[in-house]
């Protein structure tokens, strides 16, 4: 398996981990009704981005995965500031261990998918033999 494919599949798996945690929280009725809907949307977006990463070989997949991961990490930070978001506020790494798993998976996804995006860009800019 080539490096590009390995990075894409690793990124897909990491994004899926974050989405799976959000789906679990949604199914556990964690948080407010609006946060529950946001968790379901996160799970769906994660699944779509991961599927694209696994099936396609262009730069859109890594960019989509990066978008999901960045959005997830921003939302995580916002829920711990001031009044939170969508009438939901949390502190620290609660719920445990879900919050920590999500942050680690999404942060690793950013690194892996940035490398995958660079590989995709390199592949499109290099002359084919």
CA distance 1 to 74: 33
CB 62 within 8 A of CB 117: yes
Residues 6+ apart with CB under 8 A from 36: 25, 26, 29, 30
pLDDT for 129 equals 47
Is the per-residue pLDDT at 119 higher than 70? yes
| 48-99 pLDDT tens trace | 999 999 999 999 999 999 999 999 999 999 999 999 999 999 999 999 999 9
| 8-43 pLDDT tens trace | 999 999 999 999 999 999 999 999 999 999 999 999
Q: How far is CA 27 from CA 22, 67, 87, in A?
A: 9, 24, 19
Q: How far is CA 39 from CA 58, 71, 88, 107, 113, in A?
A: 27, 12, 12, 18, 22
pLDDT for 122 equals 84
Q: Where along the chain do its domains lie? A: 3-122
pTM for the whole structure? 0.93
CA distance 5 to 22: 26
């Amino acid at each position: 398996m080539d490096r590009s494919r390995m990075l894409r599949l690793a990124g897909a798996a990491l994004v899926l981990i974050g989405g799976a945690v959000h789906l679990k929280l949604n199914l556990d009725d964690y948080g407010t009704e609006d946060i529950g809907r946001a968790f379901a949307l996160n799970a769906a977006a994660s699944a779509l981005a991961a599927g694209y990463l696994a099936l396609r070989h262009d730069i859109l997949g890594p960019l989509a995965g990066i978008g999901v991961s960045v959005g997830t990490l921003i939302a995580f930070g916002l829920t711990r500031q001031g009044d939170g978001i969508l009438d939901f506020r949390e502190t620290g790494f609660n719920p445990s261990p879900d919050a920590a798993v999500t942050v680690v998976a999404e942060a690793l996804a950013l690194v892996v998918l940035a490398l995958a995006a660079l590989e995709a860009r390199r592949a499109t800019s290099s002359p084919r033999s």
